[in-house]
């Protein structure tokens, strides 16, 4: 099992995944659209979210201290990148 954390419209919420193993970034984005659209993410129900809502989001994967798998879907941030001289 894995936990998918979705950040959208200024909200962040967790959604339990039966399997987080071998999901591609595209799979994660498609799942996010479906669960947000269906209202399955507590506090983040957006029935009209577009199919492309998460196309440019970053997918981060971590393993927690007790071995739990965490997947974070978040918008890109305007800082922390490389700067050109």
H/E run at residue 85: none
- The mean pLDDT value of the chain amounts to 86
Question: For residue 83, is pLDDT > 80?
Answer: no
pLDDT of residue 19: 73
Q: Quick: pLDDT tens for 44-72.
A: 778 889 999 999 999 999 998 888 899 99
pTM equals 0.82
**How many C-beta atoms surround the C-beta of residue 59 within 10 A?**
18
Q: How confident is the model at residue 43 (pLDDT cuts 50, 70, 90)?
A: confident
């Amino acid at each position: 099992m894995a936990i998918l954390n979705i950040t959208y419209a200024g909200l962040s919420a967790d959604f339990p995944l039966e399997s987080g193993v071998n999901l591609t970034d595209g799979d994660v984005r498609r799942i996010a659209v479906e669960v947000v659209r269906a209202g399955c993410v507590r506090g983040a129900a957006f029935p009209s979210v577009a199919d492309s809502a998460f196309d440019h989001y970053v997918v981060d994967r971590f393993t927690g201290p007790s071995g739990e798998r965490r997947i974070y879907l978040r918008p890109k941030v305007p800082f922390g990148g490389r700067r050109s001289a």
